[in-house]
Amino acid sequence: MRSVSVIGIGETKMGKLADFWLRDMIKEAGEKAISDANIDRNQIEALYMGNFASQYLCLQGHMGPLASEVLNLGNIPTVRTEGACASGGLAFRQAYIAVAAGLYDIVLVGGAEKMTHQPTEVVTTGVAGAADYNLEVSIGATFPSIFAMLAQRYFYEYGDVREQMAMCAVQNHDNAMLNPDAQMQKRITVDQVKAGFPVAYPLTVYDCSLVTDGSAFVVLAATDVAEKLSKKRIVEIVGSGHAGDTLTIATKKSLTTLYATVHAAKQAYQMSGLKPSDIDLAEVHDCFTITQILNIEDLGFFEKGKGGRAVMEGKTAASGQIPINVSGGLKAKGHPIGATGLSQIYEIVTQLRGEAGARQLKKANIGLTHNLGGTAATCVVNIFRGR
Amino acid sequence: MRSVSVIGIGETKMGKLADFWLRDMIKEAGEKAISDANIDRNQIEALYMGNFASQYLCLQGHMGPLASEVLNLGNIPTVRTEGACASGGLAFRQAYIAVAAGLYDIVLVGGAEKMTHQPTEVVTTGVAGAADYNLEVSIGATFPSIFAMLAQRYFYEYGDVREQMAMCAVQNHDNAMLNPDAQMQKRITVDQVKAGFPVAYPLTVYDCSLVTDGSAFVVLAATDVAEKLSKKRIVEIVGSGHAGDTLTIATKKSLTTLYATVHAAKQAYQMSGLKPSDIDLAEVHDCFTITQILNIEDLGFFEKGKGGRAVMEGKTAASGQIPINVSGGLKAKGHPIGATGLSQIYEIVTQLRGEAGARQLKKANIGLTHNLGGTAATCVVNIFRGR
């Protein structure tokens, strides 16, 4: 399989985009990515679209041809991928495989989700489809309740990290202050998080990611093609991994080590020949604050049980040894579900190109993305290096 | 890219499976395919799942890990693909690419849909998500009405084929009589079809495919691996094509030539070095009877405008020059949407192995599948040859 690189990126602002329907978001983010790649749209050979909940929230399936029509891509093949909150990461993974295989030279990958037009209870029901309806949702489990159980088990096995979870939210909000695309732009404190409206113990509303409208796109090209086309720094995919786990929480081997992450990360590290300490920055899937702590441990940045302490010591802050979610993450940039995996890549490429403006990190040559679906039942990890 | 073959197949009976929920159907069809392939489940490296409407009809997304859990596949990567009624074909296509690329040696591909537990109006709304909600569905268009417009346009351009459409239904019902998995097992007449309950002129209820519960799975392997493993006739994928079109009917270049089919077929023929006259049998996407006539023309079996006459002359019957839908097709075998593309492959492999019992064709060495999504906005065509 041959080398593949990212040559174009685009995203909408994240948030409550009242005047933007799916078509409008896709058009804005898709056109930005095509323009950024410095290609003609006729050069695009296939389209991969991540979307999770639009069949329920918008009565709209078949997102591939919808996006192809909006972006005027003709008769190219399209596919929508769905793996809950990892739907965008899966679109990227399938596109990567097809280009690496030599089937296509240039492909477009996008994600979009429209969520804020629905009442909270409808969003909650739609999102709960990422768990098992019969065995979990129908008996009252929702995602906050499931991740609250993971947090409680973590407390039991490794000690209470309530304060450290809150600090994840604080740092992500701090980071989002410098990201113009972020949904949240206000600082919060650890005390505010802990005293927030209770959702499912120990999670308060400040421990939960956001309900977001948004879209993000990237253009992939075979690296040899990219070198001829691109006028910007080429960002090569040097590692890619994809793993899964059972759907239900009752059947997991562990509630505090998420094996889908462990396996996907192992693949990506092996392929790249890199180790966790080689990574300059990472965007990880902080659907809840406890997940961010689990993620930075499962990705090998910190030992199991030590992630919370690392957060408190500032090691994951923008100025720390391994900046996590400098975009603001799902918690503060926002979580437009099917677009999230692509928006993570948008941030890494922006940083690796040195185009991140006020939030630009000094050292940004190797970046990692981690996109998780459901109760860690789907995980895609990618490692990128600027050439 | 290397050669890939089908080494295992399995499907449920199609129909109203009142006691079968998604898990039960997936377990039955998936276990059959694994057993048929003569492999241990630990050899399966990835799972691709086609599903269209379960997020709406069953409040269940994230079908990949659901199926992986049911089939006890551990931490392998999974992805759900969705492209309306071509969701199963897309799963197969992505799996094919990954194995052909050398990423995996053995993968499992499945599709499942649970539909009959919902009232007709709920099914109609869910299925309409394959069209554009804002531009088509919200103003009253449903799939029967859209395909009725295609039929009327065909009548205008090429002459009335009402009788010939009815004959497609008659032949598919005849074929289903010999398929124990088929939902419908009764003969009908041309007069019955024409006098059926009117749905959208010229379509009556007998011109429309069925609402079906069902699941189908196939096991793919790199052909060199398949040769070592398989105790049955290996069925090689010698051609594969995937193309698309705009989502909305208003933006199509033609309503009587479906260009997604034309382009996907062209790719598959070119890759295989075969021409339409080389094909021994085909399973084509007869969501409506008019679609079957369009398909056999767009696939090159008959000239545009001449498909109806060929049907009346018996050329597409099981005893004809190019048997179409010997399984009974979507019309009579049934249309469990996300499983349909895999069930078509099930039939072709069964025929190419000589395992089709009472409906076995005498000449079955090269078979074609054609899976269409929405208003021909997604199309996957595959050509298979027995080795």
- Which residues of B are less than 8 Å from A246 in CB distance? 65, 68-69
A293: left (phi over 0), alpha (psi -120 to 50) or beta: alpha
Burial string for B169-185 (b: 16+ CB within 10 Å, else e) reads bbbbbbbbebbebbbbe
Q: Please tell me the distance from the alpha carbon of residue B38 to that of residue B8, in angstroms, as a whole number.
A: 8
- Asked if residues B270 and B38 have their Cβ atoms less than 8 Å apart, the reply is no
pLDDT at A169 over 90: yes
pLDDT for residue B34: 98
B40: which 2 tokens? Answer: 């241990």
Give phi and psi for A83, each to the nearest 5.
Answer: -150, 55
Q: Average the pLDDT over A31-52 and give the result.
A: 98
Reported as a pLDDT band with limits 50, 70 and 90, residue A231 is confident
The answer, yes or no, to whether the previous bond of A202 is cis (omega within 30 of 0) is: yes
Q: State the pLDDT at residue A23.
A: 98
Quickly tell me which residue has 């009959």 as its tokens: B116
Question: Which one-letter DSSP state was computed for residue A340?
Answer: H
**Which stretches does DSSP call E strand in B189-318?**
198-200, 203-204, 214-222, 235-244, 281-283
Annotated catalytic residue within B85, B208, B287, B379:
B85
Rounded Cα distance, A257 and B156, in Å: 64
Neighbouring C-alpha atoms within 13 Å toward the C-beta of A38? 12
Res B282 pLDDT > 90: yes
Q: Across the interface, which of B65, B90, B97 has its CB nearest the CB of A246? A: B65
Interface predicted TM-score (ipTM) of this complex, two decimals: 0.98
Decide if B234 contacts B223 (C-beta within 8 A).
yes
Residue from the list B56, B133, B374 with its beta carbon closest to the beta carbon of A65: B374
Q: Torsion angle of alpha carbons B164, B170, B175, B178, nearest 10°? A: -170
**Mean pLDDT of the residues in chain A:** 98
Question: What's the average model confidence in pLDDT over B344-362?
Answer: 98
Question: pLDDT band for position A68 (50/70/90)?
Answer: very high
The rounded distance, in Å, linking the Cα atoms of A4 and A173 is: 33
Contact in structure between A290 and A297 (CB atoms under 8 Å): no
Cα gap B57→B369, rounded to integer Å: 27
Mean of the pLDDT values across residues B324-345? 98
Nearest to B351, CA basis, from B220, B174, B232: B232
Phi and psi at residue B169, in whole multiples of 5°? -65, -45
CB B338 within 8 A of CB B52: yes
Grouping H, G, I as helix, E, B as strand and the rest as coil, residue A309 is: helix
Q: How many CB pairs under 8 A join A and B?
A: 207
Most A CBs within 10 A among B75, B107, B127, hence the mutation to make, goes to: B75
Using the beta-carbon criterion (under 8 Å), do A78 and B244 form an inter-chain contact?
yes
Nearest alpha carbon to residue A106 among A4, A217, A239, A255: A4
CB pair distance less than 8 Å for B62 and A129: yes
> Cα–Cα distance between A86 and A83 in angstroms, integer?
5
Q: What is the mean pLDDT of residues A165-188?
A: 98
pLDDT over 70 percentage in chain A: 100
Looking at the complex, report in whole angstroms how far the Cα of residue A294 sits from the nearest Cα belonging to chain B.
18
Confidence of residue A306 (pLDDT cuts 50, 70, 90): very high
Contacts of A82 in chain B (CB under 8 A): 55, 61-63, 79-82
pLDDT of residue A96: 98
Integer Cα distance of B367 and B237 in angstroms: 10
pLDDT value at position A144? 96
CA-nearest of A148, A138, A126 to A375 is A148
Q: Collect all residues of chain A within an 8 Å Cβ-Cβ radius of residue B56.
A: 55-56, 59
Q: Is the peptide bond before B202 cis (omega within 30 degrees of 0)?
A: yes
Q: Number of helices (H) and strands (E) in chain A: give both, helices first.
A: 14, 11
Locate A332 and state its tokens. Answer: 């503060």
Q: Distances in Å between the alpha carbon of B194 and those of A213, B176, B184?
A: 48, 20, 18
**pLDDT tier at A331 (50, 70, 90 boundaries)?**
very high
Contact A82 B80 (CB under 8 A): yes
Q: Which alpha helices (H) appear in chain A, and where do they start and end?
A: 22-36, 54-57, 63-70, 87-100, 120-128, 143-158, 162-176, 190-194, 223-229, 259-272, 289-298, 307-312, 329-332, 337-353
Q: Which of A130, A242, A244 sits opposite B61 (nearest CB)?
A: A130
Partner residue facing A244 (CB), from B52, B76, B247: B76
Question: B374: which chain A residues are within 8 Å (Cβ-Cβ)?
Answer: 62, 65
- Chain B hits for A128, CB-CB cut-off 8 Å, are 59
Residue B347 in this model has a pLDDT that exceeds 90: yes
How much is the pLDDT for A290? 98
Cα–Cα distance for residue pair B353/B367, rounded to 1 Å: 11
Cα gap B51→A315, rounded to integer Å = 42
Pairing mode, strands A378-386 and A235-244: antiparallel
pLDDT tens-digit map of A238-257: 999 999 999 999 999 999 99
- Residue B58 catalytic? no
* Tokens linked to B54: 């379960």
The 3-state DSSP class for residue B142 equals coil
Which of A22, A27, A75, A142 is most worth mutating to test chain B (most B CB atoms within 10 A of its CB)? Answer: A75
- Residue pair A298/A264 in contact by the 8 Å Cβ criterion: no
Split at pLDDT 50, 70, 90, the class of B236 is very high
- Output the pLDDT for position B33: 98
Mention every residue, 6+ apart, whose C-beta is less than 8 A from residue B384. Answer: B6, B235, B236, B237, B238, B345, B348, B349, B352, B366, B367, B368, B369
| CB-closest option in A94, A133, A260 to B60 | A133
Task: Please report which confidence band the pLDDT of residue A219 belongs to, taking 50, 70 and 90 as the band edges.
Answer: very high
pLDDT of residue A352: 98
Residue B292 contacts residue B270 (beta carbons within 8 Å): no
- Of residues B51, B44, B42, the one with CA closest to residue B23: B51
Pure H helices in B190-279: 190-194, 223-229, 259-272
Inter-chain contact B75–A1, Cβ cutoff 8 Å?
Answer: no
A85 is catalytic: yes
With 0-12 / 13-18 / 19 or more C-beta atoms within 10 angstroms meaning exposed / middle / buried, residue B226 is buried
Tell me how close the Cα of A9 comes to any Cα of chain B, in angstroms. Answer: 23
- What DSSP letter does each residue of A259-306 carry, written as one string? HHHHHHHHHHHHHHT--GGG-SEEE---SBHHHHHHHHHHTTSS-TT-
State how beta strands A47-50 and B47-50 pair: unpaired
Q: Which residues contact B307 (CB under 8 A, 6 or more apart)?
A: B161, B164, B293, B294, B296, B297, B301
Answer yes or no: do B126 and A55 touch at CB < 8 A.
Answer: yes
Q: What confidence tens digit (pLDDT) does each residue in B5-23 have?
A: 999 999 999 999 999 999 9
Name the residue facing A101 among B1, B90, B248 (closest C-beta): B1
CA angle B112, B115, B121 (to 5 degrees): 150
Please compute the mean of the pLDDT values over residues A271-278 and round it to a whole number. 98
Q: Which of A97, A128, A374 sits opposite B65 (nearest CB)?
A: A374
Contacts of residue B65 in chain A, CB cutoff 8 Å? Answer: 83, 244-247, 373-374, 377-378
β-strand partners of A219: A8, A108
The four Cα atoms A306, A308, A310, A313 give a dihedral, to 10 degrees, of -140
pLDDT confidence of residue B367: 98
pLDDT at B230: 83
For the residues A73-95, what does the mean pLDDT come to?
98
Residue of A nearest to B23 (CA): A134
Sign of the CA dihedral with A230 first, then A234, A236, and A242 last: negative
How close, in Å, is residue A47 to chain B by CA atoms? Answer: 10
Q: pTM for the whole thing?
A: 0.98
Distance from CA of B131 to the nearest CA of A (A): 7
Residues A93-130 pLDDT 10s: 999 999 999 999 999 999 999 999 999 999 999 999 99
Model confidence pLDDT, tens digit, residues B184-205: 999 999 999 999 999 999 999 9
- In percent, how much of chain A has pLDDT > 90? 99
Cβ within 8 Å, pair B78-A131: no
pLDDT, tens digit, for every residue of A144-155? 999 999 999 999
CA atoms of A272 and A250, how far apart (whole Å): 34
pLDDT value for A274: 98
Q: Which residue of A has its CA nearest to B100?
A: A101
B68: closest chain A residue by CA? A246
Find out whether A296 and A302 touch, Cβ atoms under 8 Å.
yes
Q: Please, what's the largest Cα pairwise distance for chain B?
A: 56
**In the structure, what pLDDT confidence band is assigned to residue A230 with cuts at 50, 70 and 90?**
confident
- Residue type, position A292, single letter: Q
Specify the amino acid at residue B131.
A
* The pair of three-digit structure tokens given for residue B57, joined into one six-digit string: 């009809």
Closest CA to A207 of A220, A197, A217: A197
Q: What is the mean pLDDT of residues A3-8?
A: 98
pLDDT band at residue B105 using 50, 70 and 90 as cut-offs: very high
The whole-angstrom distance between B246's CA and the closest CA on chain A is: 5
The pLDDT value recorded for residue B361 is 98
pLDDT category, A235, cuts 50, 70, 90?
very high
The pLDDT of residue B231 is above 90: no
pLDDT tens string B69-95: 999 999 999 999 999 999 999 999 999
- pLDDT at residue B27, rounded to an integer: 98
- Give the residue-averaged pLDDT of B121-136: 96
Determine the residue of chain A that is closest to B66 in CA distance: A247
Is the Cβ pair B137, A59 closer than 8 Å? yes
